Structure 1
Amino acid sequence: MANIEDVARLANVSIATVSRAFNNKPDVSEKTKARILEIARSIGYEPSVPARSLTKRKTNTLGLIVPDISNPFYGEVVRGIEDTCHNHNYNVILCNADNKRDKEFLYIDMLKNRWVDGIIFHSDYFTERHYEVFKGKKIPLVLAGRATKYDILYVAIDNFKAAYDATNYLISLGHERIGIIHGPLNGMEETVDSVDRFLGYKKALKDAGLKVYDELIKEANFKAKGGYKAAKMMLEGEIKPTAIFAISDMMAIGAINAVFDSGFKCPEDVSVIGFDNIDLCEVIRPPLTTIAQPMYQIGAVAAKLLVKIIGGEQVEQKSVLLDHELVVRKSCSRL
C-alpha cells in the first residue's frame, strides 16, 4: 500500500513538502503541488483525512446529540439536519443520549475530542450545567427544537402560543374541565418548552374565565407510559376531565389508552389533543388532533445556521421561531 514516503521519494521532495502540498500551503509552488498530487494519484495514495483535519482545524463534520432517537419527533428533526448537511458537504455524527444527562456530557466531550466543527444539540432538559460546559468548550452550537433562557441560538416554535391555541380549541368545543399532562416545570429538569406550554394552557383558561383545576394537572416524562399513568390518575379522581391536553404526542397516545382502559370512550367521553404531529397520529384510533411542529424544517434551519456560523458569517438573531399548525382529526369532539 502506497504511503507518504513513496510520494516524497518519487517526487524527490521531503515528506514535509508532500504534507504541505496536500494541505494547500502557500509556500509550496503550484507546479510542485500539481506534480505531487499527480504522483499520489498514479500510485493510489490518499492522505489521512483525520491528519489533514487536525492540520486545518476543520473536519467538515458536525456532532448531533438527541435525547431519544426512538421518539418519531427526533427522527424527523434528524432527517432535516442530515439532508441539509449533505447538501453542504458536511458529515454528521449522531449521538443518542437515551435521556441520560451523564451520557450527554460524555458525548459532548467525545465530539469535541474528534474535532467536530460544531454541534447541534437537542435535549429535553437544557440546564445551567449544559450551558457552562458548552461555553467552556468554545465550540459553535445551535439548539434544535428546544428554546432556552440562555444566550444560545435556537430554532423552535412559539410554545406558549401553540399551547394556547390547543387549549383554546378544546374550549371552543365547549370543554371546561380541561386537564394537562406537562413535562418538568422546576428544578434541574426544568424545560423552557414545558413551562411555556403550561403557561399557554393556563392563559387560555384564564382568558375564557374557566377554572384551573389542580387535580387535572399532572407531570410526565414525554413517553407514552408516562402519559398513560398521568391520565389514569386524572380519570380516577373525583374531578374528571372532559378533555386532556398532553404536551407531546407520545404522552397523548398513552392518555388515549388510559381513557379506554378506564371504561370511557375517546372522544365521546374524553377528548385528547397532543403536540408535535408525529406520523403515529394518523394511524392510531381515533386519529389524534394535535399541534404540528415543522420538525424537518427545525432540523434543516438549525443545520443551515450552524454551517453559516462555522463559515464565519454573522448570525444576528438569538432565536428562530417557525410556525405551528393545529391539525384537527377525530380525538376531540364537541360537548
Structure 2
Amino acid sequence: MNIYDIAELAGVSIATVSRVVNDSPRVSEKTKQRVRAIMEENGYTPNVFARGLGLDSMKTIGIICPDVSDSYMASAAFHLEGRLHEYGYDCILCCSGSRQENKEKYVSLLLNKRIDALILVGSTYAGEGGDDRKADYVRNAAKTVPVFMINGYIKGDHVYCAFSDDYGATYDVASQMIEAGRRRILFLCDSHSYSANQKLAGYEAALKDHGLPVLGDLKLYVKNRIHSVRDILLERRDLNFDSVLATDDGLAVGAIKYANAKLLKIPEELCITGFNNSALSICCDPELSSIDNKVEELCAITTDQMMAVLRGEEKPVAQKSQVPCRLVKRCTTDF
C-alpha cells in the first residue's frame, strides 16, 4: 500500500494525501477524516515522499542516464537541468552504464536520497532485446516516487514516458531512399534497446512495403565508435550496399569515413543518414543528413508533466507522449 493507492481509494490527488499527512489547513476536516480513515483501514504508514510533497522540503529530482559523454544524453541532461531550475528544483545526476545490475543500483541509490521524482534518460531502461521484464525495477521504483522516462516506453502505474517516433522516422527515410533508386540499404545499429528496435521495425516495414527483401547481412550491429565502424566496413568485403541508415550520428560518421577511404562519391555512390542531429552531423565532411528526434521538446514535455503530477493537478497526465521526428537534410543524401 502506497500514497497512490490511498489517493485512489479516497478519490483525491496524491498532493491532497500528502497535505492530510502534514495536517495542512488547505484541506477540509471532512476530507482529512475520510483520508485518515482509509489510511488506518489499510495500515498505511506515510513515508518521506508523502511528507515531502506537503512540506515542499525536498525539491530534488533524480536523473539517470547511461553515459553523459554521449551527445544525446548530455543534451538531455542540459535541457532537463535548465527546466527543473526554472521550476525551483535541483537535480542529482548519475551515469549507470548499460549493465542491468548497475541500473538497478543507481535507481535504489537515488530513492534513498529523498528525491521527489526520478527521470530515466535512454531506452535502455525500458529493457533490452524486447524483454519487458528487465524493466520491473522501474515499476517498483514508481511505487515510491513518480518515474519519467525519455526516449523509451514501458507500461506501468505512475510511469510517464516521452519518446520520439523512431519507427515513423526510419520508415520515412528508408522509403525515400528506396524511391530514389536505392536497393541495398545497410542498417547500422549499436544496441537492441527499445528505441533501436523501433528503428529496426521501421526500416524493415519500409523494405517490405516496397517489395524488397529483408536481408540479415544488411543489418549490422557494431560499437558506436567512429573508427571502429570505418574499419569493420572496410574489412567486410562481402557487404554490398548502396546506402546507409544509421541509428546514431557516430555510426553514420564512421560510414562517411569508410566512403572517403574507398573514394566513393557521397551521396551519388553512397547515400548516408544519421540519427539525433547532433554536433557530429556538422563536424564531418561532407556534412551529415540526420534525423532530429527533438530531445529538447521531450525534456520540456517531461518536466511539465512532472510538475503537474507533483502538484497533484486534477487533470490526468498522459503516460505515453510521442513526438514526431524530422530529417535535417545536408550533403549525404540526394532525395
TM-score (norm 1): 0.75
Q: 2:228, 2:154 → 1: CA distance?
A: 24
Supply the AA of the counterpart residue of 1:109.
S
In the alignment, which residue of structure 2 is the partner of 1:74?
A: 73
Supply the AA of the counterpart residue of 2:330.
R
In the alignment, which residue of structure 2 is the partner of 1:147?
A: 153
In the alignment, which residue of structure 1 is the partner of 2:329?
A: 328
Match runs of 1:75-154 below 5 Å? 75-125=74-124, 126-127=126-127, 128=132, 131-137=135-141, 138=143, 139-148=145-154, 152-154=159-161
Cα separation, partners in 2 of 1:280 and 1:60, compared to 1, 3 Å: same
Cα separation, partners in 2 of 1:164 and 1:98, compared to 1, 3 Å: same
Aligned residues between the structures: 280
CA contact (8 A) 1:58 1:117 kept: no
Match runs of 1:168-247 below 5 Å? 168-184=175-191, 190-224=192-226, 227-228=229-230, 231-232=233-234, 236-237=237-238, 239-247=239-247
1:184-221 CA-to-partner distances (Å, cap 9, x unmatched) read 4xxxxx42211211111111112222232322111134
Identity %: 24
1:284-321 CA-to-partner distances (Å, cap 9, x unmatched) read 11111111111111112112112221222353422111
Cα separation, partners in 2 of 1:71 and 1:108, compared to 1, 3 Å: same
- 1:315 is paired with a residue whose SS is coil
- 2:63 is paired with a residue whose SS is strand
Supply the AA of the counterpart residue of 2:139.
K
1:232, distance to aligned residue in structure 2 (A): 3.9
Q: 1:161, 1:153 → 2: CA distance?
A: 21
Cα separation, partners in 2 of 1:255 and 1:140, compared to 1, 3 Å: same
Q: 1:181, 1:88 → 2: CA distance?
A: 39
CA contact (8 A) 2:188 2:219 kept: yes
Cα separation, partners in 2 of 1:230 and 1:157, compared to 1, 3 Å: farther
Q: Which runs of 5+ in 1 are unaligned?
A: 1-22, 27-51, 185-189
Supply the AA of the counterpart residue of 1:193.
S
1:126-173 CA-to-partner distances (Å, cap 9, x unmatched) read 224553223323221010122335563211111111110111221232
1:229, distance to aligned residue in structure 2 (A): 5.4
Supply the AA of the counterpart residue of 1:122.
V
Q: 1:130, 1:309 → 2: CA distance?
A: 25
Cα separation, partners in 2 of 1:325 and 1:166, compared to 1, 3 Å: same
Q: Which runs of 5+ in 2 are unaligned?
A: 1-21, 26-50
Q: 1:300, 1:54 → 2: CA distance?
A: 22
- Between structure 1 and structure 2, the one with the greater Rg is 1
Q: 1:289, 1:107 → 2: CA distance?
A: 36
Bigger drift between 269-278 and 209-218 goes to 209-218
For the aligned residue pairs, the C-alpha RMSD in angstroms reads 2.7
1:323, distance to aligned residue in structure 2 (A): 2.1
Q: Does 1:157 align with 2:164?
A: yes
In the alignment, which residue of structure 1 is the partner of 2:29?
A: none
Q: 2:334, 2:300 → 1: CA distance?
A: 35
1:228, distance to aligned residue in structure 2 (A): 3.6
Cα separation, partners in 2 of 1:177 and 1:54, compared to 1, 3 Å: closer
